[in-house]
Amino acid sequence: MIVLIPPSETKAEGGAGVLDPATLSFPSLRGRRRTAQAALKRVPLKDAPSVLKLGARNAHEARWNRELTTGPVLPAIERYTGVLYDGLDASTLPPAARTWVDAHVVVASALFGLVRATDPIPLYRLSGSTTLPDLSLKAHWREAVASAIAATGEWVLDARSEAYAALGAAPAGSAFLLVETAEGRALNHFNKHAKGALVRRLAETGAEAGSRDELLHWAAAHGVPLEPRGDSDVVLRV
């Protein structure tokens, strides 16, 4: 079982060591990672605020992209912050649950394609919806990411946002996670937090599922309000 989650624009600073491409999971993506990094570095600093959609408060984040190979690294699950990662709160998980996260959680990335929770990555600023001047992220990642996911042979719970799901589809038979309130689709903040909390619950219980039916069985056994939608999707009620 793999749980695919989106990254976050906000990131924790700090770390140790530097990026070693050979240590990252999904080695089939290595060449495309180099291409994406090079394209990002080619964005002039003067153009970065508009290209990367940065405001006055976070304009300094453009400089992160100049230090991709020299800046310190942190495990991806510690690098990314924000609402979903607050809901997951990986740093407070007991050892067995943290081991589950390390083994089952895969983070989508506009820069790296896919990384596992333990992969050490630097600070960077690049969104899945960014339009780089000389690289289409969707075209660049779509087939390679889809192939890398499929090559794991694992059943996939896809909790990515639409922008990141567009960078490479999960295999047929995967379940796409939707979050809804009684009124309909959950607003962004609640959507993200609910996804993080669900991943935490999966980790705490050591969940294993090889199909949507098995995931729904797990949910019923643990009082998680998850229900089927259509042929493959699942809806989490909040």
In terms of residue numbers, what domain contains 6?
2-237
pLDDT band at 186 (very low <50, low <70, confident <90, very high): low
Q: Which residue has the higher pLDDT, 9 or 184?
A: 9
Total structural domains in the chain? 1
Which tens digits make up the pLDDT trace of 76-112?
A: 999 999 999 999 999 999 999 999 999 999 999 999 9
| Percentage, residues of the chain above pLDDT 70 | 99
Structure tokens at 157: 């719970």
Structure tokens at 78: 């510690």
CB contact at 8 A, 180 and 238: yes
Span 131-147, average pLDDT: 96
SS3 of residue 44 by DSSP: coil
| Percentage, residues of the chain above pLDDT 90 | 91
pLDDT band at 164 (very low <50, low <70, confident <90, very high): very high
Half-sphere exposure of 202 (CA within 13 A, CB side): 27
Residue 85, class by beta-carbon neighbours within 10 Å (0-12 exposed, 13-18 middle, 19+ buried)?
Answer: buried
Span 122-136, average pLDDT: 95
Query: Which pLDDT score is estimated for 59?
Result: 86
Query: Which pLDDT score is estimated for 52?
Result: 93
Mean pLDDT, the chain, rounded, equals 95
pLDDT band at 68 (very low <50, low <70, confident <90, very high): very high
Query: Which pLDDT score is estimated for 58?
Result: 87
Query: Which pLDDT score is estimated for 56?
Result: 80
Span 159-175, average pLDDT: 96
Helix ranges (DSSP H) in 5-94: 30-41, 48-51, 76-79, 83-88
